């Protein structure tokens, strides 16, 4: 049964349709949309890519050609003063120097960072609370406000 199915796929996705598919990719088409446009399913294209290494390579080359065209247009826009295009170009080409700081994700919790850096998170938290209380006590000049005591001003209210 699978041999019949493979034969149907091969028959339906012939050289002419493969050529049309590759041309759509060169023009910037997406794989799924291009497959449907030539009358096959994306699964059929995927299957042919797996059984035909030359076709798989041709797909990648066609996509690279489309990407190169967009890259050229982006460069021209960047050089002509389009700030958004300039940033996109630099983010892509030199990410080590020009990364978009808005997209950096903080993936570790403070506890994980403390552990990574060799600290005991519970002790670090206790030390931070003690330091904060000491600073409050210093700032108030009363020596006990942070510990729950009240000042004369607070009692009058």
Per-residue pLDDT of the chain (157 residues; tens, 9 = 90+): 444 444 455 568 999 999 999 999 999 999 999 999 999 999 999 999 999 999 999 999 999 999 999 999 999 999 998 999 988 888 888 888 887 767 666 666 877 877 888 888 888 888 888 988 988 888 887 655 444 555 444 454 4
57-70 exposure pattern, b = at least 16 Cβ within 10 A, e = fewer: ebbeebbeebeeee
pTM metric for this prediction:
0.55
pLDDT of residue 23: 98
Q: Rounded to whole angstroms, how far apart are CA atoms 10 and 78?
A: 44
Q: What is the DSSP letter of 102?
A: G
Largest Cα–Cα separation, the chain: 93
Helices in 38-120 by DSSP H: which ranges? 42-51, 53-79, 83-93, 110-116
Q: How many CB atoms lie within 10 A of CB 39?
A: 12
């Amino acid at each position: 049964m699978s041999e019949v199915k493979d034969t149907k796929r091969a028959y339906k996705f012939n050289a002419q349709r493969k050529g049309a598919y590759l041309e759509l990719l060169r023009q910037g088409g997406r794989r799924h949309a291009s497959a449907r446009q030539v009358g096959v399913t994306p699964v059929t294209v995927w299957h042919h890519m797996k059984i035909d290494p030359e076709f798989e390579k041709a797909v990648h080359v066609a996509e690279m050609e489309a990407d190169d065209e967009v890259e050229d247009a982006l460069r021209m826009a960047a050089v002509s003063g389009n700030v958004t295009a300039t940033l996109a170009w630099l983010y892509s080409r030199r990410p080590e120097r020009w990364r978009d700081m808005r997209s950096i994700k903080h993936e570790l919790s403070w506890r994980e960072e403390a552990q990574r850096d060799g600290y005991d998170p519970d002790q670090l938290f206790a030390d931070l609370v003690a330091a904060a209380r000491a600073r409050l006590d210093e700032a108030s000049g009363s020596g006990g406000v942070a510990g729950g005591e009240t000042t004369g001003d607070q009692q009058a209210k």
